[in-house]
Chains A and B, each alone.
Chain A
Amino acid sequence: MNKTVNHNAWFMVLPVVILVAFSAIIPLMTVVNYSVQDTFGRNQFFPVGLEWFKEILYSDRLWGSFQRQLIFSAIILAIQIPLGIIIALNMPKKGFWVPVCLVLMSLPLLIPWNVVGTIWQIFGRVDIGLLGYTLSNLGIDYNYTQDTLDAWITLIIMDVWHWTSLVALLAYAGLKSIPGAYYQAAKIDQASRWKVFRHIELPKMQGVLMIAILLRFMDSFMIYTEPFVVTGGGPGSSTNFLSIDLVNMAINQFNLGPAAAYSIMYYLVILLICYVFYTVMTNIDERNGV
Chain B
Amino acid sequence: MAQITLSNLAHSYLSNPGSEDDYALKQLDHVWNDGEAYALLGASGCGKSTLLNAISGLLVPSRGRILFDDRDVTNAPTTERNIAQVFQFPVIYDTMTVHENLAFPLRNRGDDPGYVAKRVQDIARMIGMESQLTRRARGLTADAKQKISLGRGMVREDVNALLFDEPLTVIDPHMKWELRTQLKSLHHEFGHTMIYVTHDQTEALTFADKVVVMHDGRVVQVGTPEELFRRPEHTFVGYFIGSPGMNFLEATVNGTMAKVADHEVFLGKGYGPVNGKVEIGVRPEFMRLSDDGNGIPARIRRVEDVGHHRIVRVEVENKLLNAIVAEENPIPSENAVVRFEPTGIIVYSDNWRVVPNGEAAA
Expressed in whole angstroms, the Cα–Cα distance for A187 and B59 within the complex equals 12
User: For residue A289, which residue of chain B has the nearest CB?
Assistant: B139
Expressed in whole angstroms, the Cα–Cα distance for A188 and B87 within the complex equals 11
In the complex with contacts A190-B79, A199-B96, A287-B138, A185-B108 CB distance below 8 A: no
Evaluate contact between A181 and B87: CB separation under 8 angstroms. Answer: yes
In the complex with contacts A192-B108, A290-B139, A181-B89 CB distance below 8 A: yes
In the complex with contacts A181-B87, A189-B104, A191-B108, A288-B138 CB distance below 8 A: yes
Residue picked from A187, A204, A287, most chain B C-beta under 10 Å: A187
Evaluate contact between B105 and A184: CB separation under 8 angstroms. Answer: no
Interface 1/0 per residue, B86-126 and A, CB below 8 Å = 01010101111000000011001100000000000000000
Evaluate contact between A290 and B138: CB separation under 8 angstroms. Answer: yes
Q: Kindly count the residue-residue contacts between A and B in the assembled complex, taking CB atoms under 8 Å apart.
A: 57
Expressed in whole angstroms, the Cα–Cα distance for A185 and B89 within the complex equals 11
Expressed in whole angstroms, the Cα–Cα distance for A187 and B82 within the complex equals 10
In chain B, positions 55-94 with a C-beta closer than 8 Å to chain A are 56-58, 77-79, 82-85, 87, 89, 91, 93-94
A164: min CB distance to chain B, Å: 26
B138 neighbours in A (Cβ, 8 Å): 287-288, 290
Residue picked from B53, B83, B84, B87, most chain A C-beta under 10 Å: B87
Evaluate contact between B91 and A185: CB separation under 8 angstroms. Answer: yes
A185 neighbours in B (Cβ, 8 Å): 85, 87, 91, 149, 152
Partner of B83, one of A188, A192, A287: A188
Evaluate contact between B93 and A188: CB separation under 8 angstroms. Answer: no
User: For residue A191, which residue of chain B has the nearest CB?
Assistant: B108
Evaluate contact between A188 and B109: CB separation under 8 angstroms. Answer: no
Interface 1/0 per residue, A181-219 and B, CB below 8 Å = 110110111111001000110011000000000000000
A195: min CB distance to chain B, Å: 7
Evaluate contact between A203 and B84: CB separation under 8 angstroms. Answer: no
A288 neighbours in B (Cβ, 8 Å): 94, 138
Expressed in whole angstroms, the Cα–Cα distance for A179 and B94 within the complex equals 14
Partner of A188, one of B78, B95, B96: B78
Evaluate contact between B95 and A187: CB separation under 8 angstroms. Answer: no
User: For residue B88, which residue of chain A has the nearest CB?
Assistant: A181
Evaluate contact between B94 and A203: CB separation under 8 angstroms. Answer: yes
Expressed in whole angstroms, the Cα–Cα distance for A181 and B149 within the complex equals 12
A190 neighbours in B (Cβ, 8 Å): 78-79, 82, 105, 108-109
**Chain B: number of interface residues, binned into ranges:** 20 to 34
Expressed in whole angstroms, the Cα–Cα distance for A192 and B84 within the complex equals 16
Partner of A187, one of B77, B89, B104: B77
Evaluate contact between A188 and B108: CB separation under 8 angstroms. Answer: no
B94 neighbours in A (Cβ, 8 Å): 203-204, 288
Expressed in whole angstroms, the Cα–Cα distance for A188 and B85 within the complex equals 6
A179 neighbours in B (Cβ, 8 Å): 89
A180: min CB distance to chain B, Å: 9
Partner of B58, one of A187, A192, A287: A187
Expressed in whole angstroms, the Cα–Cα distance for A182 and B94 within the complex equals 11
In the complex with contacts A190-B79, A190-B109, A181-B91 CB distance below 8 A: yes
Evaluate contact between B87 and A200: CB separation under 8 angstroms. Answer: no
User: For residue B82, which residue of chain A has the nearest CB?
Assistant: A190
Expressed in whole angstroms, the Cα–Cα distance for A222 and B152 within the complex equals 49
User: For residue B53, which residue of chain A has the nearest CB?
Assistant: A184
A109: min CB distance to chain B, Å: 31
A94: min CB distance to chain B, Å: 13
B87 neighbours in A (Cβ, 8 Å): 181, 184-185
Evaluate contact between A200 and B93: CB separation under 8 angstroms. Answer: yes
Evaluate contact between A199 and B93: CB separation under 8 angstroms. Answer: yes
In the complex with contacts A203-B94, A287-B138, A189-B152 CB distance below 8 A: yes
B139 neighbours in A (Cβ, 8 Å): 290
A199 neighbours in B (Cβ, 8 Å): 93, 95-96, 104
Partner of B84, one of A184, A188, A195: A188
B20: min CB distance to chain A, Å: 27
Expressed in whole angstroms, the Cα–Cα distance for A187 and B79 within the complex equals 6
B82: min CB distance to chain A, Å: 8
User: For residue B152, which residue of chain A has the nearest CB?
Assistant: A189
A49: min CB distance to chain B, Å: 52
B83 neighbours in A (Cβ, 8 Å): 188
In chain B, positions 117-166 with a C-beta closer than 8 Å to chain A are 138-139, 149, 152-153
In chain B, positions 25-59 with a C-beta closer than 8 Å to chain A are 53, 56-58
A184 neighbours in B (Cβ, 8 Å): 53, 58, 78, 85, 87, 91
In chain A, positions 251-286 with a C-beta closer than 8 Å to chain B are none
User: For residue B153, which residue of chain A has the nearest CB?
Assistant: A188
Expressed in whole angstroms, the Cα–Cα distance for A99 and B93 within the complex equals 31
A182: min CB distance to chain B, Å: 6
B81: min CB distance to chain A, Å: 9
Evaluate contact between A189 and B105: CB separation under 8 angstroms. Answer: yes
Expressed in whole angstroms, the Cα–Cα distance for A189 and B95 within the complex equals 16
A187 neighbours in B (Cβ, 8 Å): 57-58, 77-79
| 6 closest cross-chain pairs (CB), A and B | A290-B139, A185-B91, A187-B78, A189-B105, A190-B79, A190-B108
| Given A185-B85, A199-B104, A204-B94: 7 more A-B contacts, CB < 8 Å | A184-B91, A188-B85, A189-B104, A189-B108, A200-B93, A203-B94, A203-B95
15 contacts between A and B (CB under 8 A): A181-B87, A184-B58, A185-B87, A188-B56, A188-B78, A189-B108, A189-B152, A190-B79, A190-B105, A191-B108, A192-B108, A199-B95, A199-B104, A200-B93, A290-B138
